[in-house]
A and B are shown apart, each in its own frame.
Chain A
């Protein structure tokens, strides 16, 4: 027998007495339609919440201030990038330090407006210092997929990747850096063990905005480009 139109099932969920006999009979014997009726009833039961409470106005201002402060770190616009490359000191590094300071503030649970100034903190540029880190997550959810960090020493960067739960799809795991400009990407190597790896990259690369760490699974098909299947991603910040 054909299924009942969802519209009529919604009517049944709203008021069983108002539904016609054939709709009631069908829903009584068809698991699929009965399921939909149950779903509709569930939705109806969830109606009745009190009005939403907007946060106070200052929260909006703080969000925007923080985003703008952190934006220097993101080097999201070309103009900022040009400015950065003309200076002797990579501006994103200082900004990354500021972003890290913000993250630290976040860990403490509260921050004052004064912690939002990017130049407030000097960048920790000692040899072998972790200057940026990223939490890797699956692309379709927040599911944790490990960590990546950028360690600076002299004039190279080492990207350390420690991934988890990448699944068991056949193929090797390749690590890529995607530029924040959304256009360019480059492969930096393979996770030989499947989950752990260290990759030296020229500092200019990171400086140019290649800061999104991406892990793909690559079939053995002789094609050197990205397979199109990303298992994890995170932006170094």
Chain B
């Protein structure tokens, strides 16, 4: 059991305190995401739009990979963000909590769709021929998909030149020397970007892992 402090002994507003709570995660850096989460909790519709714009591709791609169906993936995406809005009071803002929380909701919606498919014999027959949609679903595969997508998104969001350097290093598997030549930076700088980038990815992945359990 995990218990979360509730601010009744202080005269502060409930909404404010939720924000204050999150500030104790001092090791987290992304104030922008935290502020966004706080605005969502406070009921700011604009925050939902920003959150949608930033993470709908993550949620949608996850649903797409998990369900192998365009229409279901769109439905799940829609449901996730509507559910996020409706249950925003349960979110404790922290930088990694938002994507972790959204993925957590997405996981539930994906299993709802799978359960519905399993109940519907006709529908099940229709999807049996699709890869990955039949028989037992291994949750660790879903987990791995989610983590890969989180990494992809984190790299997408990095400022250049780090972003380009990481793509060349991890996606195109180019050597550090080749990358140094391509981007016109010293070898040491390239190495440093790759290391720091890897550490940042590690940090974000850990945040999502903790946040979604």
Known contacts A49-B148, A141-B2: does B195 contact A185 (CB below 8 Å)? no
Residues of B with C-beta under 8 A to A59: 56, 60, 74, 77-78
Instruction: Check A106–B6 contact: CB distance below 8 A.
Output: no
Instruction: Check A169–B1 contact: CB distance below 8 A.
Output: yes
Counting CB contacts under 8 A, is B33 at the interface?
A: no
Contact with A along B1-25 (1 / 0, CB 8 A): 1111111110001111000000000
Residues of A with C-beta under 8 A to B194: 14
Residues of A with C-beta under 8 A to B43: 74, 76-77
Give the contact stretch, choosing among B86-94, B126-134, B178-186: B86-94
Instruction: Check A228–B7 contact: CB distance below 8 A.
Output: yes
Instruction: Check A49–B45 contact: CB distance below 8 A.
Output: no
Kindly provide the distance from the CB of A47 to the nearest chain B CB, expressed in whole angstroms: 4
Residues of A with C-beta under 8 A to B75: 109-110
- Chain A residue nearest to B82 (CB atoms) is A66
- Chain B residue nearest to A64 (CB atoms) is B49
Interface residues of A in 204-218 (CB under 8 A from B): 212, 214, 216-217
Most chain B CB within a 10 A radius of its CB, from A11, A59, A178: A59
Counting CB contacts under 8 A, is A89 at the interface?
A: no
Instruction: Check B14–A182 contact: CB distance below 8 A.
Output: yes
Instruction: Check B104–A141 contact: CB distance below 8 A.
Output: yes
Main secondary structure of the interface of B (DSSP, over half): helix
Known contacts A49-B149, A54-B60: does B198 contact A10 (CB below 8 Å)? yes
Kindly provide the distance from the CB of A218 to the nearest chain B CB, expressed in whole angstroms: 10
Kindly provide the distance from the CB of A119 to the nearest chain B CB, expressed in whole angstroms: 19
Interface residues of B in 194-213 (CB under 8 A from A): 194-196, 198-199, 201-202, 205-206, 212-213
Instruction: Check B171–A48 contact: CB distance below 8 A.
Output: yes
26 contacts across the A-B interface (CB closer than 8 A): A10-B196, A15-B176, A43-B151, A43-B202, A46-B148, A47-B151, A47-B171, A55-B73, A55-B74, A59-B60, A59-B74, A59-B78, A64-B48, A76-B43, A138-B1, A138-B2, A141-B212, A165-B1, A183-B13, A226-B9, A227-B8, A229-B3, A229-B4, A229-B5, A230-B6, A233-B89
Residues of B with C-beta under 8 A to A235: 86-87, 89
Counting CB contacts under 8 A, is B137 at the interface?
A: no
Counting CB contacts under 8 A, is B164 at the interface?
A: no
Counting CB contacts under 8 A, is B58 at the interface?
A: yes
Residues of A with C-beta under 8 A to B149: 49, 52
Chain A residues within 8 Å of B, Cβ to Cβ: 6-7, 10-11, 13-15, 18, 39-40, 43-44, 46-56, 59-60, 62-64, 66-68, 70-71, 74, 76-77, 106, 109-110, 137-142, 165-169, 178, 182-183, 185, 212, 214, 216-217, 223, 225-231, 233-235, 237
Instruction: Check A182–B198 contact: CB distance below 8 A.
Output: no
| A64 and B169 alpha carbons, distance in the complex (Å) | 39
Further contacts, 15 of them, CB under 8 A, given A74-B86, A182-B16:
A7-B195, A11-B195, A40-B198, A47-B148, A51-B156, A52-B60, A54-B60, A55-B56, A55-B60, A138-B4, A139-B90, A166-B1, A183-B14, A226-B6, A227-B8
